[in-house]
Amino acid sequence: MSSQNNPTNGFNGEDSPLIQTKNLYKSYFNEGLETKVLFDINLTINKGEFVAIMGPSGSGKSTLMHILGFLDNHTEGEYEFHGKAARTMDEDMLAKVRATRVSFVFQAFNLLPRASIYQNVMLPLIYHPIIPAEERDSRVNKAIESVDLTDRTNFLSNQLSGGQKQRVAIARALVTEPELIFADEPTGNLDSASGIQVMKVLQDLHDSGHTIILVTHEQSTAEHADRIIELFDGRITRDTEEFKTRWAVDEDKLMK
């Protein structure tokens, strides 16, 4: 994992949870009008978890993922990553976190259309502050291999099918070996067969120790995860982890 080969991480290390939010709120302001999107989000996610954030469209699940992935800022409350508050990070620090610790798989793939698979997967390494240039090639090839696209390495990304594109996007997310992979509706633009394939790749990643946060509105997709957090109108309405712990507490009470 990159946290081990990153001597200047500036984080509190492994004792703190990977992700912790305390009374997190998010509002958008448009021409002086405030639109509240997230209310009082309290969430702890530990390393190695496979979490699905579920909810209908407009529930705020994507916004929550963008905040957790350092693509967007929250309005109130605290978001701590390895115990370090996101609001204390400056622009360069945020760019560094995005480059080294988190990565994204988007619904719309967001590949560079006129670049080859190889170039697309290479892209994050260009901005990676630590991985040396001579390691790039082997890392790219390894990432492409892990999504089973080695025979198409030099294809342009606009020559690929949707499922293949999403696998390239996953390879791109893997290549820096981040601690945390965000997948935003990764099967949303895919037929069911490709969707199953992509979910299998994510499943394999989780099995090999990656922390994955999946955003989806489909129950069937969410069920791949170990833990499901449901959002509705910007509030957490269900968290299977909490349910488990609450259940455990109740069990304790029952035992007494």
Binding site for another protein (CB under 8 A): 66, 69, 71-72, 91-92, 95-96, 98-100, 103-104, 106, 110, 112, 123-124, 127-128, 172, 176
Give the end-to-end CA distance of the chain in Å, rounded to a whole number: 43
Distance CA 128, CA 172 (A): 12
Length of the chain: 256
Q: How far is the CB of 57 from another protein (least distance, A)?
A: 14
Output DSSP code: residue 83.
Answer: T
Count of C-beta atoms within a 10 Å radius of residue 28: 12
3-state secondary structure 123-182: HHHHCCCCCCHHHHHHHHHHHHHHCCCHHHCCCEHHHCCHHHHHHHHHHHHHCCCCCEEE
Q: Give whichever of 92 and 251 is closer to another protein, judged by the CB atom.
A: 92
Q: How far is the CB of 99 from another protein (least distance, A)?
A: 2
Would you call 213 helix, strand, or coil by DSSP?
strand
Q: How far is the CB of 120 from another protein (least distance, A)?
A: 10
Q: Give whichever of 66 and 227 is closer to another protein, judged by the CB atom.
A: 66
**Are 99 and 124 a contacting pair, CB within 8 Å?**
yes
Q: Give whichever of 61 and 172 is closer to another protein, judged by the CB atom.
A: 172
**Are 222 and 230 a contacting pair, CB within 8 Å?**
no
Q: How far is the CB of 110 from another protein (least distance, A)?
A: 5
**Are 79 and 68 a contacting pair, CB within 8 Å?**
yes
Q: How far is the CB of 9 from another protein (least distance, A)?
A: 15
Q: Give whichever of 54 and 122 is closer to another protein, judged by the CB atom.
A: 122
Q: Give whichever of 125 and 228 is closer to another protein, judged by the CB atom.
A: 125
Distance CA 21, CA 43 (A): 5
Q: How far is the CB of 254 from another protein (least distance, A)?
A: 46
Q: Give whichever of 39 and 182 is closer to another protein, judged by the CB atom.
A: 182
Q: How far is the CB of 183 from another protein (least distance, A)?
A: 13
Distance CA 109, CA 186 (A): 8
Q: Give whichever of 31 and 207 is closer to another protein, judged by the CB atom.
A: 31
Distance CA 199, CA 214 (A): 10
Distance CA 98, CA 200 (A): 25
Count of C-beta atoms within a 10 Å radius of residue 172: 27
